[in-house]
Structure 1
Amino acid sequence: MKLVLSALIPLSADEAYYWVWSHKLQLSYFDHPPMVAWLFYAGHFLEPFMNAVRWPAVLLGHCTLGIGALLLKEHFPLEKIRWWMYLVLFSPLLGFGSMIVTPDLPVVFFWVLSLYIFQNVLERKDASSYAALGAALGLGFCAKYHIILFVPCLITYLLFERKWKEVQWRWVPLTIITGILFCTPVLLWNYQNDFASFTFQLKHGLQRDSYEFNWTSSYVLGQIGIIFPWVLWAALKAKLPEKIRYLYYFAWFPLIFFFLTSFRALVEANWPIVALPAVCMLAAYHPKIQKWLRYYVGFWSVIIVVVLTALFVPTIRNSNPKISEPFQFQELSTLAHEYSPLYASSYQMASSLWYFSKIPVFKLQGISRFDFFDTLKESIPAGNHFYLVEHETNGLPEWLSQQQWTHREIKRIAPDFVLLEFTRP
């Protein structure tokens, strides 16, 4: 079902952006690490089949269920593992959301894989497990920087549960070495680019000049809604056996961390996504979750049906700009066949026009916030003539007038776009 739906649903603007990365492969990128681009690259051969370019990533995301089941099978009865799968499959971010290819999808996979290997570290205490943990964390760092939270979760568990004696300290350097080895692309790219990506993410998540109460309130209410009240209550009240008490720390630490950062900046709803698999594991262990599960599955089933209806029924989707955006860009993509070279005023528009037309469309350098397109020489027109499709609210970069570019309006495109022609002597 995921494969069919993911092939039918057009790529969102952010997905198209990552798809563009896969046609401009680098060690890493300004906005995020490279894993999402690698996954799209693996799906290039599927592009003739609608939007099946998503399939390698969707399959990887779905493998999270298998790794989670392996993690739980020694400690959970089969019935509780089945409940956990229901909780994951109907989660808005882990279930339906796992058809949308973003850095969240691979980082959740490597987070759960690291949990599974960490359990092996505690039980087997062998060198291969320590090396594998470093490799999984390193690959997770190539997916999204949030994987770094795994380390303080682990340390907090060892500290509060007094498990330091179970650590084979002679193998810890092996974990560190393999971790660094497997995230070398990200480290090397940042070293070559003045650590631009690390700096951008830190400022994006932690630095604001003033505080707004809605940052914290929206975060708390959003997480309650995403986890679901009864599921959250079950997770809070669950009593786990000692051998898997580490799940408490990997569930609550990321949620508490982002709660604290909400006093410094706005936290997006998906940022604590790495906490959700463990939260669902805690909830699945609660004896009353089977009763509450019907409300959870029923509620999110209705939401999924509503979203799918909105996506595939034009009269409904056009009432919501965010839902209609991919379809608008799909219609605009015909401009790439008629006007050349064509530029766009945002990375979202440029990426979508490129994806749907299969003709390279670049964002005009400096026309919006700095992103991957601004690092490309193609973002500055090479000749004396080009076209720009822009949202009417966008301005123009100063360098156009400095280079004596003049423009005229070719046509307006409903509802909010305009096509401009630029020339210079």
Structure 2
Amino acid sequence: MPSKFPKIFLYLLGAILAINLLQAHFTELIFDEAYYWHYAQDMAFGYFDHPPMVAWMIRAGCLFFEGELGVRFISCLFSVATLATLWLTIDHPKKNDFIPHFFILAFSMTLLNAYGFFTLPDTPLLFFTALFLLVYKRFTEKPSALAGIFLGLVMAALMYSKYHAVLVIVFVLLSNLKLLTNKYAWLAVAVSLLAYLPHFLWLYQNNFISIKYHLFERPNDAYRFDKYTLGFLVNLVALFGLTFPWVYRALFKTRPKDTFTRALVFLTYGVLLFFFVSSFNRRVQTQWIIVVSIPLVILVFYHLIKDVKTRKWIFRMGLINIAVLLYLRLGLVIPALFPVHYESHGNKLWTGELKSKIGDIPVVFENTYRLAPMYAFYRDVPTYSLNNINYRQNQYSIDESERTVQHRNVYYVSPFMTNEEVAFTNLKGDIYYGKYIENFESFRKLRAYVKPKTFTLSSEEEHLLQVYNPYDTDIDLSKLKFAVGYLNDYKRIKDIIPMSVRPIDGKIVVLKSNDTTNFTFKLPKPKMKDPGYFRIGISENGLRYGLNGNSIKLE
């Protein structure tokens, strides 16, 4: 019986793994990777921005290696596993004659190439999408209880990778509505929900903060064709580089003749259509559509086997793509070779410059979940991202990082400083300023609740404000100041007006530990014209107002 993986396939797969491992070791972290490394320091079934798979991968990789390679090791394994899984999914009697074409096709896809070593939520999403399609194919060929259980586990793994996975599952289901009458398909759904239950519980325990942020709190901008829809169309090209005409030609010419091919076509068109429609509301990031690379590898490979013209052009343009990508990958390590400054350049330098000035004391970075974990990764000292009303919530808003810097002497780095001492300068030339703070104290987890009702700026009505203190100690009210932040219709903060609050229950001097204190307040008049929303912010010890309340619609 011939091997499912011919020797030439294994040689090329091994070469890609070696390249990715070397790249993973010699390339400094990018900011998102540092942020996800921060996730992995506190293992959980969920995190502010994403499900936990990316953190689990990093924690597992760091058991084998230190530094950048530890962060990226599992990603390197997942990338070659993705290619192997795709190969197993392809059923064609002539496929072994076109192994080089398969690798050129897959390796020339820009983000499929990049996520061969970067550790981002899309890395496991790609692998489990490929695995899901393989298992689904086997399931449709021979449904059984065991196949249903395995399919359910893979669906759960998909959802543990990234919330976008729901699109993969839904569009495959829509391609085959007969699954609604298949008892083993329902078994798969039950298994997936059961396996995903820990994340549901995490969401419930954290007041569904991830869902609320992504659906309701995320800032946006007014629609612009060039930034939104045209940007989406450019992303369609960027995803495949020079091979894009033949990739989409293969897609357009594909006519589904079986259940599995129909699933591939539905998945591809479904994701593209979903984000095309989304582009009329917000900017679509390139990685959001990367999942279509998986079904397209299969569809395009089938097409190039039978179409000589497509095969020749994919081979030629794919080699050029790969040459460019390998050059750029070398530029990730050697900044002089890269056409622009990239975020993997100079992180060891700026973190070293800062530590040489301040030593081992903790650092508080205001409004940057990017710099805080990067400094902690490279310099092994406690850091905290203190988020104010001008920024956004993130993992630092809900984890225990704040506790590590409380009542300690810290170095405070802020984008709002200009006259303090220079903290560091990065390779791009950006200057960051900082200062020392003794006995640092912050209360960013104070929550401000306003009862749902109709709010108008013309009213002089007093409103109820409830402030919950989640800390284990009472908080002196004299340390706090309150403000209303006014936002435009796209939830961008535009105006911050200090305000007075009045305790309802007599003369309150402290916010009691793990308790709620009731106040009344009036909405102050904004300077901006026609605000769309407002939110409550609380300042402690002279720090800028925090993100303590949700955005509330103004009528």
**Corresponding residue for 2:422?**
411
CA contact (8 A) 2:333 2:345 kept: no
Does the alignment pair 1:388 with 2:412? yes
**Corresponding residue for 1:291?**
312
Letter in 2 for 1:282: L
Q: Which moved more, 1:181-190 or 1:229-238?
A: 229-238
Q: How far did 1:137 drift? A: 0.7
What are the residue-to-residue correspondences of 1:126-165 with 2, within 5 Å? 126-159=144-177, 164=178
**Corresponding residue for 1:421?**
436
Does the alignment pair 1:123 with 2:141? yes
CA contact (8 A) 1:81 1:284 kept: no
**Corresponding residue for 2:388?**
366
Q: How far did 1:89 drift? A: 1.8
Which whole-Å CA distance do the structure 2 matches of 1:81 and 1:191 have between them?
47
Instruction: Assess, with a 3 A threshold, how the Cα gap between structure 1 residues 25 and 282 changes in structure 2: closer, same or farther.
Output: same
Q: Deviations over 1:361-419 (max 9, x none)?
A: 221243732100122343264216321234xxx238xxxxxxxxxx9834342331122
Which whole-Å CA distance do the structure 1 matches of 2:122 and 2:325 have between them?
19
**Corresponding residue for 1:402?**
none
Q: How far did 1:197 drift? A: 1.0
Instruction: Assess, with a 3 A threshold, how the Cα gap between structure 1 residues 7 and 337 changes in structure 2: closer, same or farther.
Output: farther
Letter in 2 for 1:197: S
Helix, strand or coil for the counterpart of 2:111?
A: coil
Where does the alignment leave 5 or more consecutive residues of structure 1 unmatched?
397-406
CA contact (8 A) 2:28 2:345 kept: no
Judging by fraction of residues, say which structure has more strand.
2
Helix, strand or coil for the counterpart of 1:376?
A: coil
Which one has a bigger Cα radius of gyration? 2
Q: Which moved more, 1:308-317 or 1:363-372?
A: 308-317
Which whole-Å CA distance do the structure 1 matches of 2:435 and 2:369 have between them?
17
Instruction: Assess, with a 3 A threshold, how the Cα gap between structure 1 residues 153 and 50 changes in structure 2: closer, same or farther.
Output: closer
What are the residue-to-residue correspondences of 1:265-280 with 2, within 5 Å? 265-280=282-297
**Corresponding residue for 1:26?**
44
Does the alignment pair 1:375 with 2:393? no
Q: How far did 1:204 drift? A: 7.2
Does the alignment pair 1:256 with 2:273? yes
Which whole-Å CA distance do the structure 2 matches of 1:336 and 1:78 have between them?
59
Instruction: Assess, with a 3 A threshold, how the Cα gap between structure 1 residues 261 and 81 changes in structure 2: closer, same or farther.
Output: farther
Q: How far did 1:222 drift? A: 1.4
Does the alignment pair 1:94 with 2:112? yes
CA contact (8 A) 2:235 2:286 kept: yes
Q: Deviations over 1:321-356 (max 9, x none)?
A: 545364555445635971512222311101111111
Q: How far did 1:141 drift? A: 0.5
Q: How far did 1:83 drift? A: 2.8
CA contact (8 A) 1:219 1:267 kept: yes
Instruction: Assess, with a 3 A threshold, how the Cα gap between structure 1 residues 117 and 377 changes in structure 2: closer, same or farther.
Output: closer
Helix, strand or coil for the counterpart of 2:231?
A: helix
Where does the alignment leave 5 or more consecutive residues of structure 2 unmatched?
1-18, 441-555
Which whole-Å CA distance do the structure 1 matches of 2:152 and 2:47 have between them?
22
Equivalent of 2:184, from 147, 167, 171?
171
Q: Deviations over 1:167-202 (max 9, x none)?
A: 762223311211112222321111111211122223
Does the alignment pair 1:199 with 2:212? yes
| RMSD of aligned alpha carbons | 2.7
Letter in 2 for 1:16: A
Q: TM-score, normalised by structure 1?
A: 0.87
**Corresponding residue for 2:24?**
6
Which whole-Å CA distance do the structure 2 matches of 1:74 and 1:318 have between them?
41
Q: TM-score, normalised by structure 2?
A: 0.67
Helix, strand or coil for the counterpart of 2:364?
A: strand
Q: How far did 1:303 drift? A: 2.1
Instruction: Assess, with a 3 A threshold, how the Cα gap between structure 1 residues 332 and 285 changes in structure 2: closer, same or farther.
Output: farther
Instruction: Assess, with a 3 A threshold, how the Cα gap between structure 1 residues 80 and 203 changes in structure 2: closer, same or farther.
Output: farther
Instruction: Assess, with a 3 A threshold, how the Cα gap between structure 1 residues 334 and 46 changes in structure 2: closer, same or farther.
Output: farther
Equivalent of 1:308, from 329, 341, 347?
329
Which whole-Å CA distance do the structure 1 matches of 2:92 and 2:323 have between them?
34
Helix, strand or coil for the counterpart of 1:363?
A: strand
Q: How far did 1:104 drift? A: 0.1
Letter in 1 for 2:435: L
Number of positions where the alignment pairs a residue of Structure 1 with one of Structure 2? 406
Q: Give the share of equivalent positions with the same residue, in percent.
A: 24
**Corresponding residue for 2:502?**
none
Which whole-Å CA distance do the structure 2 matches of 1:189 and 1:75 have between them?
47
**Corresponding residue for 1:217?**
230
Does the alignment pair 1:357 with 2:379? yes
Equivalent of 1:43, from 61, 64, 77?
61
Q: How far did 1:243 drift? A: 4.9
Which whole-Å CA distance do the structure 1 matches of 2:424 and 2:71 have between them?
29
Helix, strand or coil for the counterpart of 1:182?
A: helix
Helix, strand or coil for the counterpart of 2:45?
A: coil
Q: How far did 1:78 drift? A: 2.5
Which whole-Å CA distance do the structure 2 matches of 1:329 and 1:38 have between them?
28
Q: Which moved more, 1:144-153 or 1:316-325?
A: 316-325
CA contact (8 A) 2:411 2:434 kept: yes
